[in-house]
Amino acid sequence: MKPEIISKKLKAHTPKILGSENFSKYAVLLPLIQTEEGMSVVFEVRSMDLRRQPGEICFPGGRMDPDDLNEREAAIRETTEELGLSRADISGVSPLDYLISPFGMIIYPFAGFIDDADKIKPNPAEVSEIFAVPLSFFIDAKPEIYSIHFKAEPEENFPFEHVAGGKNYNWRMRHMEEYFYHFEGRIIWGLTARILAHFIAIMKEDGN
């Protein structure tokens, strides 16, 4: 292959996460509303009728559809569907850092404002209830953080003869941090807590 052809192909390539085409892509929104306690974060409790993670606390969001223009639009669409809102009820939607899950998912989080909390009408097929927690609580609270370790277990037919060290190869141990917040008997944990902790870290950055 000629150098000019190689250069042309490289210039035409847009970098992305290697292998990302095999990942499931999700978008979520961290919703903010004004309450008597000040600015607050809205959470959903997932319906017990759902197949995945029934009864858990989360933010509105879900898997991206082919019709979604981008990740931001997916997060807004999911929020309107789950909280019974119109697009006009949601404003100031801004991106947070995205997460790559060890379970084959890329999560694109956003934060935005719900302009009128009275317009929230949760979809009972997906949401059993909603509740709000003052942002000040999370500014002051420190999450509990625990580690989950992952051990490499090659398949039986793994070609150890092609690897330096063979069956004694020193596989790198991987781990994932799980965050937990406790608020009035409710447990906010997992990816929801991780996104929340990242958002709070942004709020605490100097110069803002």
Strand partners, 114: 90
Can you tell me the distance from the alpha carbon of 144 to that of 141, in angstroms, rounded to the nearest whole number?
10
* pLDDT mean over 34-48: 91
- The burial of 57, by beta-carbon neighbours within 10 Å (0-12 exposed, 13-18 middle, 19 or more buried), is given as buried
CATH number at residue 146: 3.90.79.10
H/E stretch holding 136 reads: helix 135-140
- Look at residue 9 and tell me if it is in a domain: no
- Look at residue 124 and tell me if it is in a domain: yes
Can you tell me the distance from the alpha carbon of 24 to that of 26, in angstroms, rounded to the nearest whole number?
7
Can you tell me the distance from the alpha carbon of 89 to that of 79, in angstroms, rounded to the nearest whole number?
10
- Range of the structural domain that residue 183 is part of: 22-204
Tokens coding 45? 């409790």
Name the pLDDT band for 207 (thresholds 50, 70, 90).
low
> For 94-127, what is each residue's pLDDT tens digit?
999 999 887 788 999 999 999 988 899 998 888 8
Tokens coding 147? 């580690």
At 208 the pLDDT is 53
Give the Cα-Cα-Cα angle 154, 100, 41 (nearest 5 degrees): 140
* Global pTM value: 0.86
How many angstroms from the chain centroid is the CA of residue 167? 36
Q: How many domains is the chain partitioned into structurally?
A: 1
- Look at residue 113 and tell me if it is in a domain: yes
At 171 the pLDDT is 82
